[in-house]
Structure 1
Amino acid sequence: MAIEVVRDYFKEIGIEERIMEFEASSATVELAAQALNVEGARIAKTLSFKKEEGCILVVAAGDAKIDNAKFKATFGVKAKMLTPDEVIEKVGHAVGGVCPFGIPEDVAVYLDESLQRFETVFPACGSSNSAIELTCEELFSYAKGREWVDVCKGWE
């Protein structure tokens, strides 16, 4: 179960007790916002995209949408999302619980600047009913982020 992989990863860091699990699903931005009683924009959604060699993850604010032109300019490829089966195969988490923690070393993680307007954000923890509250600095560090990028629109 992917949440156990994330729990083990957070145990190494010493923050596993911060993982929140819910009775109800938090698999979408809207459901996660309801479960956490926060605005949807503060949900840090993790999006999975194809690259020639594997995939990359982009973590963005819940109200942000990928800007295809910015994505191509930044990564040199068209923004093409992985299928649900590819997400499980390449990232190790199922859609609805995808997060940048406890993932294969070869999966690069980028964080969109849409997150930086918040003091804390809420990414999933590998299951469709979990989350953790992190500062943007913690998120970048624990996700082993490559860099902050500007590949989204609609949140400004």
Structure 2
Amino acid sequence: MAIERVREYFRKYNRDKDIMELDASSATVELAAQALDVEPARIAKSLALKNGERVIMIVTAGDAKIDNAKFKAEFGTKPKMLSIEETFEYTGHQVGGVCPFALKNDIPVYLDISLKRFKTVFPACGSSNSAIELTCDELNYYSLNQKWVDVCKNWE
């Protein structure tokens, strides 16, 4: 199960006990915000996208949307969402629990600056009812972030 892989991943940082398994679903930004009693923007949304022929992950604030023009300026191509099946195949996480930790394949992870306005954010941990609270510096470190990017709109 993906949450166990994520728990094992965080064990090496002595953070495995910080993973929250919620009684309610956290499969969408809105559900996660309700379950965690936080504003939806603080949910760190992990999106697996095709960038030409390769797959990348962009982690954004819960209220941010990918801006095609900004994405193309940063990565050289228009983004394309993976299908549910492709997302699982590449990340090892089911949609609703996708996160930038313990990925099945070596997918480059990028964090969007929309997250930086918060002291802490809440990414999923491999299941549709899990999360961990992290500072942006911690998310940067644990996600093995390639770099901070500005590829989103509707959050300013």
**TM-score normalized with structure 1 length:** 0.98
CA contact (8 A) 1:65 1:154 kept: yes
Matched to 1:6, the amino acid is: V
- Aligned partner letter, 2:79: A
Deviations along 1:82-111, whole A, 9 cap, x unmatched?
000000001110100000000145200000
1:53 Cα deviation (Å)?
4.2
How big is the shift at 1:77? 1.2
1:107, 1:141 → 2: CA distance?
A: 15
CA contact (8 A) 1:43 1:122 kept: yes
Distance 1:54 1:126 in 2: 22
Give deviations 1:83-141, integer Å, cap 9, x for gaps: 00000001110100000000145200000000000000000000000000000000000
User: What does residue 86 of structure 2 align with?
Assistant: 86
Gaps of 5+ in 2: none
Q: Is the 8 A contact 1:56 1:109 kept in 2?
A: yes
Q: Matches of 2:53 and 2:101 in 1, distance apart?
A: 20
Matches of 1:54 and 1:3 in 2, distance apart? 25
Q: Residue 39 of structure 1: CA displacement?
A: 0.2
1:105 and 1:28 map into 2 onto residues whose CA distance is 23
Map of 2:54 onto structure 1: 54
One-letter amino acid of the structure 2 residue matched with residue 96 of structure 1: G
What SS class does the counterpart of residue 4 from structure 2 fall into? helix
C-alpha RMSD over aligned residues: 0.9
User: 1:127 matched to which residue of 2?
Assistant: 127
TM-score (norm 2): 0.98
| 8 Å CA contact retained: 2:19, 2:132 | yes
- Secondary structure at 1:26's aligned position in 2? coil
Find the counterpart in structure 1 of residue 63 from structure 2: 63
Dislocated runs of 4+, deviation >3 Å: none
Paired residue secondary structure (2:12): helix
Paired amino acid for 1:100: P
* Number of the residue aligned with 2:118: 118
Q: Residue 110 of structure 1 contacts residue 146 of structure 1 at CA under 8 Å; is this kept in 2? A: yes
After the TM superposition, which of the residue ranges 48-57 and 143-152 deviates more from structure 2? 48-57
Q: Percent identity among equivalent residues?
A: 66
- Looking at structure 2, the residues matched to 105 and 27 of structure 1 have their Cα atoms a distance apart, in angstroms, of 22
Retained in 1: the 8 A contact 2:90–2:105?
A: no
Instruction: Spell out the pairing of 1:6-155 with structure 2 (5 A cutoff).
Output: 6-104=6-104, 106-155=106-155
